[in-house]
Amino acid sequence: MQFHTIRAILRSRCFTQTCLSEIFMWTERILYTRLIKPSILSKRHRLFLKVQDVVIVIQYAISMETLKRNPSVRRKSKLARTFQKVCNLRTTSTKVSSTNNGIGICMLKKSHNPNFNDEDDDDDDGGDSVFDLKSTSSSTRSGELKVRERRRAVFEAVVAKIFASTTSIKAAYAELQMAQRPYDNDAIQAADTAVVEELRALSELKRSFLRKELNLSPQVAIMLAEIQEQQSLMRTYEITIKKLEFEATEKQLKIDELKTSLDENSAVNKSLEKKLTTSGSISISVFDSIQIRNLNLSQFVQVLGFTLRSVRTFVKLIVKEMESANWDLDAAASAAVSINVKNASNVFARPSHRCFAFESFVCGKMLENFESPDNSNNLSRREEEFENLRSVHPVRYLTRNPGSSFAKFVVNKYSSVVHAKMECSFFGNLNQRKLVNSGGFPDSGFFAAFCEMARRIWLLHCLAFSLSENVTVFQVRRGCRFSQVYMESVKSGDESLLTSGENSDIRVGFTVVPGFKIGENVIQSQVYLSPPPPSSS
């Protein structure tokens, strides 16, 4: 009998001995053919799903215990009427032994009809079993109800035992799965033995049911079946717990391996960062090669170029945030160098040159009051500050030394370079500004880039006053003639124009990087040259 056929019979409210017998046969066929025969584990797994179908059928059978007689059954076929008789459990000649068996529970006598055929329901039957379908006496309606209740109790006991056996098979199958990984031959053999024993118990229950030899007490059988089912469920849960613990152990080992790999990769990254010329940590190698007491001008120029790289990195970050906030870059660049936005096309030869305007603004703010010695008025103090900042992460240094001169310098320059409206447009709030003003330091990439730039300018300031006490920063006014003595162009491609001898008409658009005059030495200012006027025909 197929699964859908069994369900159709159960839905028709014709739950008979034949139907239950077919459930036995179908369950036994599935279990024997799909589980016991030699097969690989995947096939056993498919069987596990089949066992679930059997459980669904049995659950549906139990739900039919309160069904009442359907009047329309009288118009059905003889077989349907027979099924209806089973559901209503007419009064039979069954006699229940009332002898005291020592435990106060009545025992059901064995039937004299070994065939148990539904087709004989309308014939005379001399058996005394509670499964007999024909009433041999004109009992009262109360007697019919009692017999019906007894028959229902027997069916419940049978179904409960099927439930218990199926749950035990599931628990044994779970043990079999658990024994596969890691492989445990003894556990596998024990699980196979448990499955075979439960199948034998199911087979014996089937034979007893068909031969009407169910010498059992329904109440005791239901209780024992429930105990067996709960014990099997506990075994299943214990196996699940062991499986989860095993998986947790494996994952923990994997985590430990990944942590070890992470530590190794971090060590490799640190060694690579020291070799990369574009990274911030390369400042260690640049400043380590400098002795502040033996500083010369070429080393100062080298540090200046290294400092300007951090300025350009910060400017690129600002431009990226402006683009994300949908700023008008032409208007922003024009405002940065104080020119009319209408003349922006006449000042910038290309749209990509607008970054020079932002670089000019940042350099002007960061190098403002650069010629003031501040706390660097003696060599020993400058050397101490240089040693403290030459090889340290700036944000960590600020966190450990919030009251240092460098911390005050960072707070002052951040408020000057990053306007409140700019920060609000970039990040949607002023949290970083409030934190900086209150003595804290944000842990963000934007602020970290600013601190790295500020650290290099602070160290450049220390080195400048180590060369000479007379330090001057100068800028070139817009419109001034270009002079190669004090200026150099930041645009690529201007070299041919400068060497052609026609530089009398070349004008400065704006200063990008101020120049330095240290003692008698001059370091050229970097300027952006205005595009030459169109030639008149």
Q: What is the pLDDT of residues 253-287, one digit of tens each?
A: 999 999 989 988 888 877 776 666 444 444 445 77
Mean of per-residue pLDDT scores for the chain = 73
Q: What is the mean pLDDT of residues 296-307?
A: 89
Give the pLDDT band of residue 178 (cuts 50, 70, 90): confident
Q: Alpha-carbon Rg of the chain, whole angstroms? A: 47
Q: Is the pLDDT of residue 136 over 80?
A: no
Of the candidates 425, 453, 469, which is a domain's last residue?
Answer: 469
| 222 domain-assigned | yes
Q: Read off the tokens for 26.
A: 């179908």
pLDDT at residue number 369: 87
Q: Is the pLDDT of residue 337 over 70?
A: yes
439 and 378 in one domain?
yes
Could you give the CA distance from residue 493 to residue 455 in angstroms, rounded to a whole number?
32
Of the candidates 191, 211, 242, which is a domain's last residue?
Answer: 242
Question: How far, rounded to the nearest angstrom, does the alpha carbon of residue 268 sit from its chain's CA centroid?
Answer: 27
The values of phi and psi at residue 115, to 5°, are: -80, -40
Could you give the CA distance from residue 223 to residue 103 in angstroms, rounded to a whole number?
15
How would you classify residue 97: left for phi > 0, otherwise alpha for psi between -120 and 50, otherwise beta? beta
Q: What is the mean pLDDT of residues 162-180?
A: 82
Task: Return the minimum-mean-pLDDT range out of 108-112, 134-138, 260-264, 482-486.
Answer: 108-112
Give the pLDDT band of residue 133 (cuts 50, 70, 90): very low
176 and 321 in one domain?
no
| 527 domain-assigned | no
Give the pLDDT band of residue 30 (cuts 50, 70, 90): low
| 179 domain-assigned | yes
- Look-up of token digits 């100068």: 474
237 and 286 in one domain?
no
pLDDT at residue number 60: 43
Q: What is the mean pLDDT of residues 426-453?
A: 90
Residues in a beta bridge with 481? 507
pLDDT at residue number 349: 76
258-296 in b/e burial notation, b at 16+ Cβ within 10 A?
A: eeeeeeeeeeeeeeeeeeeeeebebbeebbeebebeebe
| Structural domain span for residue 371 | 282-469
pLDDT at residue number 495: 58
pLDDT at residue number 450: 94
| 11 domain-assigned | yes
340 and 206 in one domain?
no
Of the candidates 242, 262, 296, which is a domain's last residue?
Answer: 242
The answer, as to whether pTM is greater than 0.95, is no
| Collapsed DSSP state (helix, strand, coil) of residue 511 | strand
138 and 22 in one domain?
yes
Give 528 or 31, the one with higher predicted confidence. Answer: 528
| 266 domain-assigned | no
140 and 84 in one domain?
yes
292 and 167 in one domain?
no
Q: For a pLDDT cut of 90, what percent of the chain falls above it?
A: 18
339 and 399 in one domain?
yes
Could you give the CA distance from residue 470 to residue 264 in angstroms, rounded to a whole number?
49
Enumerate residues 6+ apart whose C-beta is below 8 A from 20: 61, 155, 158, 159, 209
290 and 217 in one domain?
no
316 and 202 in one domain?
no
Give the pLDDT band of residue 321 (cuts 50, 70, 90): very high
| 19 domain-assigned | yes
* Number of separate domains in the chain: 2
Number of neighbours of residue 525 by Cβ within 10 angstroms? 21
Cis omega (within 30 of 0) for bond into 531: no
DSSP element (H, E) containing 523: strand 521-523
Model confidence pLDDT, tens digit, residues 348-397: 778 888 899 999 999 999 999 888 766 445 667 777 888 888 888 888 88
336 and 218 in one domain?
no
314 and 226 in one domain?
no
Could you give the CA distance from residue 290 to residue 297 in angstroms, rounded to a whole number?
11
Give the pLDDT band of residue 131 (cuts 50, 70, 90): very low
| 115 domain-assigned | yes
Give 274 or 13, the one with higher predicted confidence. Answer: 274
Cβ atoms of residues 12 and 82 within 8 Å: no
| 506 domain-assigned | no
